[in-house]
Amino acid sequence: MSEFTFNINEIGDECKELSWPIQAAWVESELAGSDLRPDRAAGPGLFELRVQRTGSELLLQGHAAAHLLLPCVRCLEDAPFAVSVDLVGLVKTEGSVGGSPDEIDDAELGRDVLEGDVVRLDGWLREHIVLECPMRHVCGDDCNGLEVPAHIRPPDDFGEEREGVDPRLAPLLELKDKVLPNKE
Ligand SMILES: [Zn+2]
C-alpha cells in the first residue's frame, strides 16, 4: 500500500506543496511488527511536503505529525505519543542514480523510492516516524507501574517498626528472653 506518492512530471520549475492525511490504517499496516500503533481516537496525522526541482534532482522538505500509541515501559498500558518529525531528502530523477553505495549522499533517497516516474515515500516516512519514537515511553510522571496482585502484595505495614522493634529482630528478642531471663 503506497499512499504517499507523486509523479515527477507534476513537478515543474516552481516549488510544489503536497499534503496527505496519515491514516490509522496506514500506520497499522506500515508499523506492524513494531510497538507503535495508531491512536484512532486522536484522528489522522498529516504529512506535508515541499518538492523543488534542482537540475536533475528533486529536493524534498517535509514534516510529519501523527498520533500514536506506545506501550508504557512501567505499566505496559497504551500511552499516547504525538510524533512530529522533519524530513529532508534528495531524489535523483535521471543520470547515474545509485552507482556505488558509498557515493550516495546521506540525504539522498535510494533508487527504491522511484518507480518509473512515481516517487513513493511510504518507506521513507515510516523510517523517520520509527526513529523519532522513544525507546522508553512512560504514560505519565505519576505512573506507578504494574499493579501487584493482592495475594502477593506485602502487608500494608510491611517494613514498619512494631512496638519500636524492627520486626526482623523479633525472633532474636524472643530468643534473648528465653536464654537470658530478665533478672530484674
Ligand atoms: Zn504507565
| Percent over 70 (pLDDT), the chain | 85
Q: Is residue 172 part of a domain?
A: no
- Give the tens place of pLDDT for each residue, 20-76: 999 999 999 999 988 999 999 999 999 999 999 988 889 999 999 999 999 999 999
Q: Is residue 176 part of a domain?
A: no
Ligand 1 centroid to Cα of residue 45, in Å, is 24
pLDDT at 169: 78
Q: Is residue 44 part of a domain?
A: yes
Over 41-88, what HEC string results? HHCCEEEEEEEEEECCEEEEEEEEEEEEEEECCCCCCEEEEEEEEEEE
Q: Is residue 124 part of a domain?
A: yes
Q: Is residue 165 part of a domain?
A: no
Domain ranges, residue 15: 5-132
Q: Is residue 145 part of a domain?
A: no
pTM (whole model) above 0.85: no
Instruction: Tell me how many domains the chain contains.
Output: 1
Q: Is residue 177 part of a domain?
A: no
Ligand 1 centroid to Cα of residue 148, in Å, is 14
Ligand 1 centroid to Cα of residue 34, in Å, is 18
Ligand 1 centroid to Cα of residue 28, in Å, is 22
Ligand 1 (ion): residues with CB under 5 Å are: 72, 74-75, 139, 143
Q: Is residue 90 part of a domain?
A: yes
